Amino acid sequence: MKTQTEILVVGAGPTGLALATALQQAGIDHLLIDRQVIGQSLSRAGVIHAHTLEMLEPLGVVPDMLAAGMAITRFGVRDRRHRLLSIDFTGLPSRHPYVLMLPQDVTERILTDRLVALGGVVHRGVEAIAVAQDAADVTVRVSTPEGEREIHARYVVGGDGMHSLVRAASDIAFEGSSYEESFVLADVSFAQPTTEKEVSLYFSPAGMVVVAPLPGARYRIVATHRHGGDTPDRAAVQTLLDTRGPETDGPTVREVHWSSTFRVHHRVADRYRDRRLFVMGDAAHVHSPAGGQGMNAGIVDAVLLGDLLARVIVGGEPEKLLNLYGELRRPAAQAVLDLSGRLTHLALMRGRLRRRIRNLLLRMIDRLPRIKAKIALQLSGIARRRFAAAMTDGSRRW
């Protein structure tokens, strides 16, 4: 592994892989490192939205994603047995009028395969342990299987998660707070697969639960949980479905393939750039899983940043162009935080009267096609296209 590079990308999750692929495709010298010895083996994020697919098209990965994923055209909100709201994505002004259900580990594999096919490398088992920048470059001390060494880079990009070392080494603030509830995430198989081909959000007095189909006859379960604790087993997931999902003829969990309980924060970086340091993905914004926006926002961060870096490093445009990255992506992140926060607030609403009013309002919205179309634009990310397509002459890519 070389010790001098134009760009060092820290973190080989979906955002790091997307950025490295864009850089490799543009012919920009870079290093992609990750402290994990092997790649992601859990599905975690499972949704890719229309705008994200549009942004990924130039990287040449979308055909493989479509072949591996499952296109879903409806998002439904129910109060157990009563349907409150149905959002149809088929009318989206996009080449991808659907939600693509694709486990995160498959997304990462496809991005990795594309990066390697272009001649790129993921340096695994390499952990950044110290970052320092000056007027000339950034010095990053890393731990490798062969011992510690220093890497010098023109720019360093932190795709290294909520506890980002890159962000900690900068003057970038990351303020916010945590939700009171924990969240349960699980991928399961049902004894009898459902015929419903939609992402379904169920409200109930006990809390909310999301049921979404995945490829391979599996289902993603997301639920709020008042107390963190042990990894949910089959009985625990079944209880969540029985007390929050359909009141009759609900699904029976046959097997839990993996599960996790985690706390959710809502935070956004006050800036996305500090001189030679950049942050993206969870290093720049974290929020509720409601709406499946997290990985999507991070991938869009990465593709836009890759485009801007290529225009500066390869195209010779002025370095100040890189300021557009934060100017565009921070408002996008704030919009995502607002969207996921509203969805979470609706799902966690307590009190019988308040829930009845909420349900009445959702039923009214269900009769208003224009408002439903706007909700589809927000969920799909298309409403935030303007925050992902910067041109120096003020024009937009879309």
d(CA 319, CA 20): 20
What is residue 297's predicted lDDT score, i.e. its pLDDT?
Answer: 95
pLDDT digits (tens, 9 = 90+) for 352-365: 899 999 999 999 99
E strand or H helix that includes residue 167? helix 165-168
In a domain, 232, yes or no: no
Residue 316: is its pLDDT beyond 50? Answer: yes
- Which value, to the nearest 10 degrees, does the dihedral of the CA atoms of residues 65, 67, 69, 72 take? 110
Confidence of residue 179 (pLDDT cuts 50, 70, 90): confident
Q: What is the pLDDT of residues 263-301, one digit of tens each?
A: 878 899 999 999 999 999 999 999 888 888 989 999 999
Alpha helices, H only, 254-391: 294-313, 323-347, 352-365, 369-380
141 within a domain of the structure (yes/no): yes
Q: Which residue has the higher pLDDT, 291 or 71?
A: 71
Residue length of the chain: 398
Q: What is the pTM of this model?
A: 0.94
Looking at residue 398, its pLDDT comes to 33
pLDDT in tens, 191-203: 987 777 899 999 9
Give domain status of residue 248, yes or no: no
User: How high is the pLDDT of residue 396?
Assistant: 38
pLDDT computed for residue 289 by the predictor: 83
> pLDDT tens for residues 3-21?
999 999 999 999 999 999 9
Name the token pair of 114: 């594309």
CATH of the domain at 314: 3.50.50.60
- Please give the residue range of the domain that contains residue 295: 4-176+265-387
For residue 210, tell me if it sits in a domain.
Answer: no
Cα–Cα distance measured from residue 80 to residue 340, given in angstroms and rounded to the nearest whole number? 21
For residue 73, give both structure tokens.
């055209």
pLDDT tier for residue 343 given thresholds of 50, 70 and 90: confident
Asked if 120 contacts 16 with a C-beta cutoff of 8 angstroms, the reply is: no
Q: Model confidence at 393, in pLDDT bands (50, 70, 90)?
A: very low
Would you say 188 and 257 are in contact if contact means Cβ atoms under 8 Å apart?
yes
Number of domains composing the chain: 1
Mean pLDDT of 54-82: 95
Instruction: State the pLDDT confidence band at 227, using cuts at 50, 70 and 90.
Output: low
* Residue 126 forms part of a structural domain: yes
Check pLDDT > 90 for residue 382: yes
Contact 28, 7 (CB under 8 A): yes
pLDDT of residue 175: 87
Q: Give residues with Cβ within 8 angstroms of 349, minimum separation 6.
A: 203, 355, 358
Confidence of residue 395 (pLDDT cuts 50, 70, 90): very low
Q: Measuring CA to CA, which residue among 65, 45, 50 is closest to residue 99?
A: 50
Structural domain contains residue 203: no
| 58: in domain | yes
**Would 201 be classed as within a structural domain?**
no
Nearest CA among 13, 58, 18 for reference residue 39: 13
